[in-house]
Amino acid sequence: MRKLLMEELNRMNPDEYKTAGKIDICVVLDNIRSQNNIGSVFRTCDAFRINKLYLCGICSTPPHREIQKTALGASETVNWEYFPDTLEAVKILKSQGYKIISVEQVKGSTMLHEQALNPEVKTALIFGHEVRGVDQTVIDESDYCLEIPQFGTKHSLNIAVSAGIVLWELIRTRISRI
């Protein structure tokens, strides 16, 4: 085995990416305070060709030095929009036929490995504030909540890590459509 060279990875250039088909998943960031986390989610959305990223509430928006540091240019390729209020973004997504799924630990949540989403269903995933999580008013508007099983002493994961885990789980059922 040997590591592949950059030119062997057959990656799209930014112009090709912008016109390429996207996966019908949107990501909604509900009041994320860390620009590094926001940049990391941009990069993950680029990697999986997510349809759109919604930045809501206290989320910083590009161009921002800390976002750019972790996004590595993904804020230039990923389609994104800012909303001062997360509920406004959720209402728009609902009107467009998206199933609204908050990633949160709640009574009655569905464990990630037990979810059986139809790959044909348009999906909006909501990730919340690093300490407070997804706001309860947003949870109330969600179709359901997904929870990532955890087995250690901590009860939470970094939001960027959570986004990577959940997005991969949903993307792997849609790989044939990319």
Each residue's pLDDT, cut to its tens digit, for the chain (178 residues) gives 999 998 888 888 989 988 998 989 999 999 999 999 999 999 999 999 999 999 999 999 999 999 999 999 999 999 999 999 999 999 999 999 999 999 999 999 999 999 877 788 899 999 999 999 999 999 999 999 999 999 999 888 999 999 999 999 999 877 766 6
At 146, which helix (H) or strand (E)?
A: strand 144-147
CATH number belonging to the domain at 22-177, selected among 3.40.1280.10, 3.30.830.10, 3.20.20.70, 3.30.1860.10: 3.40.1280.10
Neighbours of 162 (CB within 10 A): 21
C-beta of residue 26 within 8 angstroms of C-beta of residue 54: yes
Separation of alpha carbons 119 and 121, rounded Å: 5
156 residue type, one letter: S
Separation of alpha carbons 145 and 166, rounded Å: 12
pLDDT of residue 118: 79
Return the exposure string of 97-126: e unless at least 16 CB atoms fall within 10 Å of the residue's CB, then b: ebbbbbbbebeebeebeebebebeeebbbb
pLDDT of residue 178: 63
Residue ranges of the domains in the chain?
22-177
Separation of alpha carbons 136 and 122, rounded Å: 23
Length of the chain: 178
